[in-house]
Amino acid sequence: DGGITQSPKYLFRKEGQNVTLSCEQNLNHDAMYWYRQDPGQGLRLIYYSQIVNDFQKGDIAEGYSVSREKKESFPLTVTSAQKNPTAFYLCASSLGSGANVLTFGAGSRLTVL
C-alpha cells in the first residue's frame, strides 16, 4: 500500500541533544513538507521541498534542518538550538510542485525532558 511512514512515533530526548525524525513516502510524490502542531495552534510549516536536492524554509525553520537527497525521503533534524521542541511533528507529501492535496504521515511526538 502506498503512503507515508514516519518514525519513531514517540521520542524522548534530553535537552541539548539533536534528534532526527524520519519520513519516507512511496507515493512517487514530488513535494514533501514538515509541519509542527502544538495544542491550540494550527499546523505550522517548518520546511518544504518541491524537488530533490532543494528545499525552502517555512514559517518556523529556526532550530531545524532538513535534507532531500532522495525523492522518497525527507528527514527532519531538531537541533539543540530549537528552544521549545516538544510537539507533534507531521510529515506530508503532494503530487506536483504546487500544494495539491496533502497526504500526511501518522506523526511523531517528540518530548524533551
Partner 1 sequence: GQNIDQPTEMTATEGAIVQINCTYQTSGFNGLFWYQQHAGEAPTFLSYNVLDGLEEKGRFSSFLSRSKGYSYLLLKELQMKDSASYLCAAHNTDKLIFGTGTRLQVFP
Q: Decide if residue 55 touches partner 1 (CB under 8 A).
A: no
Determine contact, residues 46/58, Cβ cutoff 8 Å: yes
Q: Give the number of residues written for the chain.
A: 113
Determine contact, residues 34/93, Cβ cutoff 8 Å: no
**Can you tell me which of 19, 76, 102, 112 binds partner 1, judged by CB under 8 A?**
102
Amino acid at position 27, single letter: L
CA dihedral 59→61→67→71, nearest 10 degrees, is -20
Q: Decide if residue 50 touches partner 1 (CB under 8 A).
A: yes
CB of 59 to partner 1, least distance (A): 9
Choices 13-21, 63-71, 78-86, 94-102 (CB under 8 A): range interacting with partner 1:
94-102
What does the binding site for partner 1 look like in residue numbers (CB under 8 A)?
33, 35, 40-45, 48, 50, 58, 90, 97-99, 101-107
